[in-house]
Structure 1
C-alpha cells in the first residue's frame, strides 16, 4: 500500500473493528498499518471481508498475523501480477525507453536482477528462469515485510546515453496505474544501492553486448 491509501485503510479497519465491537485507537491503527503496508490494499480488503464471513472466527477482531494468514498466497499473486506487467512492458516498450512501474518492489527487484536494460537482453529460452527469479525475489521482500530502497526510474538505453552526452531525455513511460507510478517515482532514491552501479552506468555497460528480445514477434 502507498501512504496516500492510509485513510482508506484506516476507515476499512475501523469499520471491521466496530462490527466486532472492538474500537481501535490511532496508535493501534498505526501498528496495523506498519504490519500490513507491504500488501496491496485490495488484498487486505479481501482478507478482512473473508474474515468477517468466517463462521468460526468472524466475530473476533483479526490481528495482523490473522490477516496475513488469511491472505496465504497473496505474495505469490502479487509477484505474478508484477511479472505480468514487466513481461508486457519488455515486449511492447523494450529497453530503449526508461520506465516507472506502479509497484516499488518491481523497481527494487529488477534493479537487483541487473536493471531494465539487462532484463531486456535475455533470450526467450532464458525467460522462464528470469520469471522464476523475479517471483522468488519479489516474494522474499514481501514475506519479510520489507520496504527496501529502490531507484525512482528504471533507466533505458536512450536516457543512459543522453545522460552521458548531457542531452535532454524523454519522461519515463508509466506502467500500470499512472498515479501510483508517479508516487513510486517520488518515493525512490537516486543514491547508488549497495552492490550495484548507478542505473545510468549499469545501463550503458549492459547496452554494449545487448541481445534484445524481438518485441514485434513477441507482441
Structure 2
C-alpha cells in the first residue's frame, strides 16, 4: 500500500512581501497554489486551465526550473542566488517545490529572503504532518564539485548574495519546528560554500524525513522516549 503524499501549499502576505509555496516532500506532482490576488491566474485560457490542475513553470524562473519524471521545481523569488540555493535544496532533498514571491527588493533582499524561508518552513511542517514513522535524525555532507587545495583558513563572509544565509536558515528552522545545525568544514569561496551547505542540508533532511514502513521497527511510532515531538 503506497504511503500518503506529504504535500502542502502556503500563502504568506505581509506589508513587505507576498509569497506562495507549493511543496511535496516526496517529489512528484505539486498541488496548485491557493488563489491569491497578488498572483492572478494567467489570461491565457490553456495556461489558466493547466494552473487549476497543478503547478506549471513560473514565468521568470527559467534558471531555477527543472521538471523531470519524478520532480517539479520552479522558483522565482526575485533574488537569483536564493532561487539557486532553493533549487539545490529541493533537487538533492528529493522534493518537488514551487516558490513565487513579490518583495520590497527596492530596499534590499532581507525581507524577501527571510519571509521566503519562513513560508518554506511553514510548508515543510505542514507537509510533514504527524511526526510518526520518521527516521527523525539525519546528517549530510556534500563537498563542492570544484577542486579545492585543502587550506584550513576561511575568510569571514562579506556582505553580498550569501549574507542572508544564516538568518534564512534560522527562519526556516523556526517555522519548520526543527533543530538544525549547518557548518562548513573548509573553503574560501562563499558561493561554493553556500552550495555545499544547501546540498548537505538537503541530504540531511531527506534522511531525517524518511519514513519507516510497516514491518520496520518504529513504523507508526513517534520516535521519542517521551512519545511526543
TM superposition score normalised by structure 1: 0.26
Q: Which has the higher helix share?
A: 1
| Greater RCO, CA 8 A, separation 6+ | 1
TM superposition score normalised by structure 2: 0.25
Q: Which has the higher strand share?
A: 2
